[in-house]
Amino acid sequence: MSIDAVHFLQELVSISSISGEEEEAATYLVAVMESLGMEARVDEVGNAVGVREGPDGEGWIEQETVLLGHVDTVPGEIPVRIEDGRLYGRGSVDAKGPLATFVMAAARAELAPGRRLVVVGAVEEEAATSKGARHVADVYRPDACIIGEPSGWDGITLGYKGRLLLDYVYRQPMSHSAGPQEEVAEAAVAWWNEIAAYAEAYNRGRARLFDQLFAGLRHIQTESDGLTNSVTARVGLRLPPGFDAAAFAQRAKEMAGPARVRDYGHEPAFRASRQTDLVRAFNVALRQSDRRPRFKLKTGTSDMNIVGPRWGCPIVAYGPGDSRLDHTPQEQIAIDEYLQAISILTAVLSVL
């Protein structure tokens, strides 16, 4: 059955799938993959999984490639529409555009006997849980993996920084605002300032962004019931390769004094090799389209951080879209770029 690639992406983007609420989108993905001739299902944790094998394989698989995208999005409703050759909508870039590219390319690629493609629309990538990727990390042992994230149709992402989250909670008895006691908000801000100063000192002499420690104050809120004042704060850190997250978490707890600090969501940075057949296949496909490949290292995280160290296979991230539009009110993808990415990835999968 023939599926119009643009209509497919528009329908997928039109289905709300905030992290934890992906069931409808996963069911739609399974239906589309089945119509394209794949063996498809929703797995035990809610991932949409489609499998296609080369002809006459008789169950013998010599080479398996996992195309790991994600079906969930961050919150925020953007009216889905096509204007001036661009498709607007939450998830169009991050990362339903890359996921739709995976589905279409996997269905079109020419597969030799013994080849297997596994397309995964994972759940909860946008949450610290990454439930979908953690599940498939235990299920598969592929020979190659492509992560579905926006790199631009002529870009190849080789690495992502790591992540650490810190939650700060401090409570103290109510006191008069004219008194000498430090306010809970002041204590939280002082703790944050120490973290920011640590990051600034760490980054001295490190010119490349991928090697720097990024710290951001994501949330701070005070409350009072008339007897107790309290403050909660959250700090998110993007970690460079080799960063000792456990030691830093302990230091952050010591900086907090009597306040409580919880650390979680840790993923170490990961960088893949350029010297693989997978990268070479992308090189060839892009050069045949008169483009010199652009290699990228991203300052965010992705499911590559989870499966890359576990699988130890050749791995890259690829997909259409401008990652600067991730999570923004202006999220949109150029239709021509999406179609071009399908063509590139089809060529890669056909020769890998």
- Positions marked catalytic: 72, 125
47 within 8 A of 132, measured Cβ to Cβ: yes
The token pair that represents 322 in the structure block: 């401008």
Helix (H, G, I), strand (E, B) or coil at 297: strand
Q: What's the CA angle centered on 112, arms 111 and 116, to 5 degrees?
A: 60
> Would you state the torsion angle of the CA atoms of residues 276, 278, 283, 289, taken in this order, to the nearest 10 degrees?
170
Using CA atoms, how far apart are residues 177 and 128, in angstroms rounded to an integer?
Answer: 38
Distance of CA 318 to the CA centre of its chain: 11
Handedness of CA 115, 121, 124, 125 (dihedral sign): positive
Taking alpha carbons only, the member of 129, 199, 160 closest to residue 300 is 160
Using CA atoms, how far apart are residues 215 and 104, in angstroms rounded to an integer?
Answer: 38
Element (H, E) at 232: strand 228-239
The token pair that represents 12 in the structure block: 């997928």
Sheet holding 260-267, edge to edge: 214-224, 228-239, 162-173, 260-267
Using CA atoms, how far apart are residues 180 and 177, in angstroms rounded to an integer?
Answer: 8
Using CA atoms, how far apart are residues 62 and 54, in angstroms rounded to an integer?
Answer: 10
